[in-house]
């Protein structure tokens, strides 16, 4: 059995770090960033994998199994970097063969036999007693209450049962980020972020749409209110969010503008006692069941002001069931929504909503008068945390896919032996195990950073890497099932289609890599 070699891992990783640093400096000195989009996209993903690798060295030092996981992940990241570099060295500003100095390490820890040895490994998470209790509590709820209903919700595209929402409310799920003084459970410490990440992963293992994602929307509004809300708004809304009395949906994206938030068209016009909202929002997940929308609208008609002309509102609405709704106000305002049919991520339903002079009270402008023109920044405060949470959701989906694939491979006999005994299957499972644990540990690291007011770049990195990795993990888990993986009666088919959305929402992968990760890397290089 190959023993981990963390010194060789650190030495080899240093080569990768050097390549990333010099490639970043090269790009920063090269004019025409928009002409380098393909390279910068690859650089952002490579930098994310290398940064996760760097963080895993500490995890690897905690034991033999942990060391093997760290070595396997680092070797995998370096091999992927090697693939990106081949034939593109000039674009990266490096010499041919520079990564060859890590060749022996890659060969040793990416060898089929070594990776296969990790196929059934149960790597420790190294959570303290309190966090272990959080994980256990939410895991049991997910297994008992969500998992038995997950397939029905997916296949029939039904609403999430109220008993799931009520159960999560009783567990305090929606108050994990709400400060204690407002009726929540957040103490302002590292445990707030860690608790959210752990709970999200465990719920997402049972269902992405009917589990982990239920936390995301109240989390985003909570962070936005923390960033810019008035004291009166916090005292009014935080207790309602914490108890689940107020369920939240987010209305930011528009039919013509997704990640390009600065050009949003939906307008909020000042009227007596408040604002009138007009325009169309799309991809408003959970907007039917929700009784408030966190809505970003243009309050300054001068479009030249771009994001500086946007403000954030809490928009009350009646609760609705099913795939469509239509509401009217006494003053003539209208709101009409229809659910967009989707491949997966079902249960919450993603709506397109048309607003026609929908009235919003003055007090629901987040931040009051001081919040005018600051909506973009408040929204981003919510979305930064949403990216970390999305990474945790992806880890949960990956873990579920791995569990399903391993169980099937151990039970399924082909050509006289279980599928799990074939080397190719074992190497797939072993790579899954390393990717999942590396992703999980880095999500913990980023949670700790964000608790200190740091980690903005790292939250984007973990989201970019983990969500893309989830596509590979779920694909291979489905492949291990063979033809049965393509059948809806097997859970892995749901996990596969659910995973596809992860690289799209909370910042599309391309935009995240180019506008946030690469842009930040280049800025730091100058």
What does the block give as tokens for 261? 């938030």
- Give the closest residue to 44 by CA, choosing from 14, 20, 19: 20
CA-CA-CA-CA torsion sign (55, 57, 60, 62): negative
Query: Coil, strand or helix: which one is 108?
Result: helix
**Sequence-ordered strand ranges (E) for 214-257:** 248-251
Rounded Cα distance between 522 and 512, Å, is 14
Q: What phi and psi, each to the nearest 5 degrees, are found at residue 129?
A: -60, -40
Q: How many CB atoms lie within 10 A of CB 521?
A: 22
Which H or E run includes 361? strand 350-361
Which H or E run includes 382? helix 375-411
User: In the beta sheet, which residues pair with residue 294?
Assistant: 250, 314
Alpha helices in 86-146 (DSSP H): 89-92, 103-109, 112-116, 129-141
Query: Is residue 506 annotated as part of the catalytic site, yes or no?
Result: yes
What does the block give as tokens for 374? 């600051």
DSSP string, 36-49: GHHHHHHHHHHHHH
In this structure, the strands spanning 350-361 and 334-339 are antiparallel
Identify the active-site residue in 232, 506, 510, 524. 506
Q: How many CB atoms lie within 10 A of CB 462?
A: 29
Distance from the Cα of residue 351 to its chain's centroid: 20
- Give the closest residue to 349 by CA, choosing from 266, 389, 290: 290
Rounded Cα distance between 434 and 49, Å, is 12
Task: Give the residue numbers annotated as catalytic, written as ranges.
Answer: 506
């Amino acid at each position: 059995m190959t023993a981990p070699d963390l010194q060789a891992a650190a030495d080899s990783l240093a080569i990768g770090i050097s390549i990333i640093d010099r490639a970043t400096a090269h790009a920063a000195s090269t004019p025409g960033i928009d002409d380098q989009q393909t390279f910068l996209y690859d650089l952002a993903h490579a930098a994310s994998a290398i940064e996760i690798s760097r963080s895993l060295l500490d995890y690897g030092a905690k034991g033999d199994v942990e060391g093997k996981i760290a070595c396997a992940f680092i070797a995998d990241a370096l091999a992927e970097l090697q693939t990106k570099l081949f034939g593109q060295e000039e674009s990266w500003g490096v010499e041919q063969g520079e990564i060859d100095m890590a060749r022996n390490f890659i060969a040793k820890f990416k060898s089929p036999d070594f990776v296969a040895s990790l196929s059934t490994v149960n790597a420790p998470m190294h959570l303290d007693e309190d966090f272990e209790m959080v994980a256990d509590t939410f895991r049991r709820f997910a297994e008992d209450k969500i998992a038995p209903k997950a397939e029905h919700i997916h296949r029939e595209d039904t609403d999430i049962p109220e008993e799931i929402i009520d159960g999560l409310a009783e567990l305090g799920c929606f108050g994990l980020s709400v400060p204690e003084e407002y009726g929540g459970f957040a103490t302002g410490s590292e445990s707030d972020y860690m608790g959210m990440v752990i709970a999200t992963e465990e719920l997402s293992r049972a269902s992405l749409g009917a589990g982990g994602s239920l936390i995301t929307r109240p989390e985003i509004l909570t962070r936005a209110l923390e960033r810019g809300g008035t004291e009166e708004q916090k005292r009014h809304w935080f207790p309602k969010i914490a108890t689940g009395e107020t369920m939240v949906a987010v209305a930011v994206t528009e039919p013509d503008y997704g990640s390009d938030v600065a050009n949003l068209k939906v307008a909020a016009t000042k009227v007596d006692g408040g604002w009138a909202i007009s325009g169309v929002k799309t991809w408003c997940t959970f907007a039917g069941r929700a009784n408030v929308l966190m809505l970003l609208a243009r309050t300054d008609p001068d479009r030249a002001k771009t994001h500086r002309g946007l403000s954030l509102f809490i928009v009350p609405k009646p609760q609705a069931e099913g795939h469509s709704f239509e509401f009217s106000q006494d003053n003539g305002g209208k709101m009409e929504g229809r659910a967009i049919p989707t491949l997966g991520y079902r249960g919450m339903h993603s709506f397109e909503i048309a607003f026609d002079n929908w009235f919003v009270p003055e007090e629901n402008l987040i931040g009051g008068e001081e919040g005018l023109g600051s909506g973009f920044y408040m929204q981003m405060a919510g979305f930064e945390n949403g990216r970390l949470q999305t990474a945790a959701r992806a880890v949960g989906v990956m873990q579920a896919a791995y569990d399903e694939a391993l169980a099937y491979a151990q039970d399924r006999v082909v050509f006289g032996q279980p599928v799990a005994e074939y080397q190719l299957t074992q190497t797939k499972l072993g790579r899954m195990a390393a990717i999942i644990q590396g992703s999980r540990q880095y999500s913990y690291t980023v949670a700790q950073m964000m608790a200190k007011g740091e980690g903005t770049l790292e939250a984007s990195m973990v989201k970019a890497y983990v969500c893309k990795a989830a596509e590979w993990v779920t694909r291979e888990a489905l492949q291990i099932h063979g033809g049965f993986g393509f059948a809806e009666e097997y859970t892995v088919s749901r996990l596969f289609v659910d995973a596809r959305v992860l690289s799209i929402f909370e910042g599309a992968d391309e935009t995240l890599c180019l506008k946030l990760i690469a842009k930040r890397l280049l800025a730091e290089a100058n």
